[in-house]
């Protein structure tokens, strides 16, 4: 059974950092691309970052390039999203998602993802 569980969300001041974790079970990170998406209140779900299966190529939305870093630890079957220099506009529920082929993930398109976690709330506020 495929399962994704996010953790690490919370309240942080502008300019601060958080690291989100996405623990995967029921499949190997070698076989699925993993993406991070976020949804702010009243807005659509947007792609943030993706790490491909296989060679682990990474992709980022322009809004987070240079501030966020996606990595994976295959020994723990976990993907991380390190978020630095956080801004109030980064406030959202962050979801991790898995896609077996990766074509949607690499383009940060949420509609093509196969499995989703329940999300973790990140609030950036002073």
Provide CB contacts within 8 A for 35, sequence distance 6+: 47, 48, 49, 50, 51, 96, 97, 98, 99, 104, 105, 108, 110, 113
Residue pLDDT, tens place only, 56-92: 999 999 999 999 999 999 999 999 999 999 999 999 9
Q: What's the pLDDT at 102? A: 83
Q: Which residues pair with 4 in a beta bridge?
A: 24
To the nearest whole number, what is the mean pLDDT of the chain? 96
Residue 54 banded pLDDT, cuts 50, 70, 90: confident
Residue pLDDT, tens place only, 37-53: 999 999 999 999 999 99
């Amino acid at each position: 059974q495929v399962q994704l569980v996010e953790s690490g969300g919370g309240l942080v001041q502008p300019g601060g950092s958080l690291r989100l974790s996405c623990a995967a079970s029921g499949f190997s990170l070698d076989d699925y691309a993993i993406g991070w998406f976020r949804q702010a209140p009243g807005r659509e779900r947007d792609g943030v970052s993706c790490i491909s299966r296989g060679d682990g190529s990474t992709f980022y939305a322009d809004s987070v390039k240079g501030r966020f870093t996606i990595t994976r630890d295959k020994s723990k079957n976990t993907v991380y999203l390190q978020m630095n220099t956080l801004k109030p506009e980064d406030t959202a529920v962050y979801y991790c998602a898995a896609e077996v082929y990766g074509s949607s993930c690499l383009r940060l398109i949420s509609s093509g993802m196969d499995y989703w976690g329940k999300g973790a709330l990140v609030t950036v506020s002073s």
